[in-house]
Structure 1
Amino acid sequence: MSRRAVITGIGVVAPGGVGRENFWNVLVSGRSMTRRISLFDPEGFRSRIAAEVDFDPLAAGLGYQEIRRMDRAAQFAVVCASEAAADSGLDLGSLDPGDLGVSIGSAVGCTMSLEEEYRVLSDGGRRWLVDHTYGVPHLYEQMVPSTLVVEVARRVGAEGPVSLTSTGCTSGLDAVGHGAQLVVEGSAEVVFAGATDAPLSPITSACFDAIKATSPDNDDPEHASRPFDARRRGFVLGEGAAVMVIEEYAAARARGARVYGEIAGFAGRSNAFHMTGLKADGREMAEAIRVSLGKARMNPEDIDYINAHGSGTKQNDRHETAAFKASLKQRAYEVPVSSIKSMVGHSLGAIGSIEVAACALVLDRQVVPPTANLYHADPECDLDYVPRQAREHAVDAVLSVGSGFGGFQSAMVIRKPEGAPR
């Protein structure tokens, strides 16, 4: 009998609060979490706004030594993994550590710690030759992104397959897809899969300022992130993490676990075109969608909701609108589509896993989150983008997509576990 990968636990750290319920409340409220950056002085930057997480590591259950050792992104991931484990009801101590795997994604690793250490070692940038004696003992670990996944593995006691995926803004979606595959192929019985990024630092802001990708609407932060709106001016940076417990379906049922959904299909493609540019026809994303549907043995008519990448840049919104039409045909005009980046910002590599968590909760709660700040229709984006208000909606299967610098295009189908195509 073929093995199936299902989500049985969810942990989230996102703008609006720590924990999946705080996260869900933000989504259904349609409130944007964007504000002026407080983690550093943003004066002088083109974009001075972001969707920050109000995060107290001590209150979240971390110890003083863990806080000293871990970058903010690692702290997010470990807290999410703990929440997901508790939500799943698994007794981790009773499992063979070799059957436990971890698959974590991140686009920029330990950015905040590295920038802070460079500031110290270079004496505020005044010294070209840095003095390494001022570095913290954990500097090497901060330079190696795989320490993020090591911290999660240490927390949950995993001694099976442990890996880090870094594919830009599709990292979170790709890491969850990889985790599901480990379960399906039998390489692990349980996988903690997700992604984390805490990129809110001067170097990140400067990089996106340089290419004018982020919104300059500093005087109205709450309405700055507006995917698919005709007056959108770029995306809003965010931070956060999400980790899911993924296990084999038969085992989950045997122990009476609550199953949020089955990861039924996943595929990735690359456009081999441009580091940041996208072709208007959305061909590569459309192909990823078609392949993911094929792996799930489902048709476009079986999709009840689309979680869009929806970054809020003109080229991205038009690109994926075209991809939905090319891959789903008439169904693209019938199914609700929304972007949660309008509320929690774009946390780079982490957002894909945060969006998977949102999709699992949509299946569980039967409510579709809105696209906040969508007031002015763009004629080139003419689908049902669920403007401003959450919507009760019967959902048996969802499609989540991601698009990243470098040409990465990913698509995942998640359905109710009994979800044979209607």
Structure 2
Amino acid sequence: MSGLRDGRRVVVTGIGVVAPGGVGTKQYWDLLTAGRTATRSISTFDASQFRSRVAAEVDFDPVASGLSQRQIRQWDRTTQFAMVAAREALDDSGVLGARDPLRTGVMVGTACGMTISLDREYAIVSDEGRSWLVEEAHGSPYLYDYFVPSSMAAELAHEAGAQGPVGVVSTGCTSGVDVISHAVDLILDGEADVMVAGASDAAISPITVACFDAIKATTPRNDTPESASRPFDRTRNGFALGEGSAIFVLEELSHARRRGAKVYAEVAGYASRCNAYSMTGLRADGRELAEAIRATLDRARLDPSQVDYVNAHGSATKQNDLHETAAFKASLGHHAYRTPISSIKSMIGHSLGAICALEMAACVLAIEHSVVPPTANLHEPDPDCDLDYVPLVARDHRVDVALSVASGFGGFQSAIALTRWDGGQR
């Protein structure tokens, strides 16, 4: 399939971001291009009992972000992030007064759903875990909503006045790519003209930290949290948890042009594969990720030599960074050695289901500003990770084609290609 169905094409016309280091797209881009890290010691709960006590938290004031007291009480932090990001994206696009509600949809990705509220409510109804028979009467009246991530999509649909397709995609850490791909498919298939789509996760909680502690996936570098996440570095020893949200307005091209919308980029291709190998393990040869990249470029009608920037998964685990380096070499060939590649997880941590949406935002902004964000904390490159991972400092570099890749528990491997909008010729 070419990526074009009956001539339909999909473009990005609005961006909204809530991320560690700042709320809003401008603050986010300023952090990335400055190479600043937002990782720090966990402050939202007492993490002293855990092996890894480092995370990239969002300094988020829901009142200052425009949420009412009722919304703050009702919505989990994940939904609050998504709503604030969606409002920015909708305002940025100006689409609300120029769309048919029945041709407008919402798709949200998340890996962990309403983790913080569920963690809190379980502690309340179980008397801090002392009771097996819980007292449900002490739970929040919104407890059911916390169990059902689709409640977040429903709230966003209400905000956007969307009466078209609405749903949730949850494929672990690839959710942010997969949800955009699904939303684009709905537009290409003619099910919608406008999709409000992205991902959100706020899972910095005791249960999440305990789970990653158990498999030693997160960094124990607690004494220097600002430099704890070190993708592609010889001294890397795991990722730092993060949180946040990125939401986009996606439009069918002719719909966007009719209303004179600003076009940030075109979604040119995407693909997903599964390694059918291990829930958490990765093959060293990166074969499945390489195939997802090849399929993405084929769908976009792009040659590997046309890729100007790759936003890597770059989780800073030993196996991921080797696996990913092999995948780039297998899919891009010799061009892999000439392509700037970076991991923004070095600055904003790994926000699980939300991170790929945040990485897509970084790709769109790299195209917009012709700047490649760096990989922070990359002082001692691993000799086996021998590609251009843009250490420490952002780079002025024209980006016409940006590729973002993702790897997730369950063996999921996804990729998405974004291209500069050139007025019609690609």
Within-5 A mapping of 1:230-241: 230-241=234-245
Residue 181 in structure 1 maps to residue 185 in structure 2: yes
Q: Report the Cα distance in structure 1 between the residues aligned to 2:325 and 2:192, rounded to whole angstroms.
A: 36
1:206 aligns with 2:201: no
TM-score, length-scaled by structure 2? 0.97
What's 2:404 paired with? 400
Counterpart for residue 28 of structure 2: 23
Alignment of 1:23-422 (within 5 A): 23-90=28-95, 92-418=96-422
Counterpart contact for 1:367–1:393, Cα < 8 Å: yes
In structure 2, list runs of 5 or more residues that go unmatched: 1-5
Deviations, residues 16-66 of structure 1 (Å, cap 9, x unaligned): 010000000000010110001111110110001100000011110111111
Matches of 2:20 and 2:43, distance apart in 1: 13
Question: 1:414, 1:308 → 2: CA distance?
Answer: 14
User: Which moved further from structure 2: 249-258 or 182-191?
Assistant: 249-258
Amino acid paired to 1:32: T
Q: What displacement does 1:93 show?
A: 4.2
Change (3 A) 1:318 1:421: farther
Task: Please give the per-residue CA displacement for 1:268-290, whole angstroms capped at 9, x wherever unaligned.
Answer: 00000000000000000000000
Aligned counterparts of 2:151 and 2:294: Cα–Cα separation in 1: 35
TM-score by length of 1: 0.98
In the alignment, is the contact (CA less than 8 A) between 1:298 and 1:421 conserved in 2?
Answer: no
Contact 1:396 / 1:419 at 8 angstroms: preserved in 2? no
Matched AA of 2:253: Y
Cα gap change, 1:394 to 1:184, in 2 (>3 Å): same
Deviation at 1:159, TM superposition (A): 0.8
User: Alignment length, in residue pairs?
Assistant: 421
Percent identity (aligned): 60
Cα offsets for 1:294-349 (capped at 9, x unmatched)? 11001001100000000000100000110000000011000100000000000000
The CA deviation at 1:145 is: 1.2
Q: C-alpha separation between the residues in 1 aligned to 2:99 and 2:91?
A: 15
Task: Give the Cα separation in 1 of the matches to 2:168 and 2:79.
Answer: 12
CA–CA distance in structure 2, aligned partners of residues 421 and 288 of structure 1: 25
User: Equivalent residue of 2:245, what SS?
Assistant: strand
**1:254 Cα deviation (Å)?**
2.2
Cα distance, 1:171 vs. partner?
0.4
* TM-superposed deviation, 1:421: 8.6
User: How far apart, CA to CA, are the structure 1 residues paired with 2:279 and 2:291?
Assistant: 19
* Partner-residue secondary structure (3-state), 1:375: coil
Matched to 1:228, the amino acid is F
Pairwise CA RMSD = 1.1
Indicate conservation of the 8 Å contact 2:98/2:259, yes or no. Answer: no
Partner SS state of residue 241, structure 2:
coil
Give the aligned residue type for 1:219. D
User: Which range moved further: 254-263 or 204-213?
Assistant: 254-263
- Between the aligned partners of 2:239 and 2:54, the Cα distance in structure 1 is 10
TM-aligned CA deviation for residue 379 of structure 1: 1.1
8 Å CA contact 1:299–1:421 kept in 2: the answer is no
* Distance across 1 between alignment mates of 2:314 and 2:389: 10
| Shift of residue 146, structure 1, vs aligned partner | 1.1
Aligned to 2:3: none
Any conservation in 2 of the 1:281–1:319 contact (CA below 8 Å)?
yes
AA aligned opposite 1:12? V
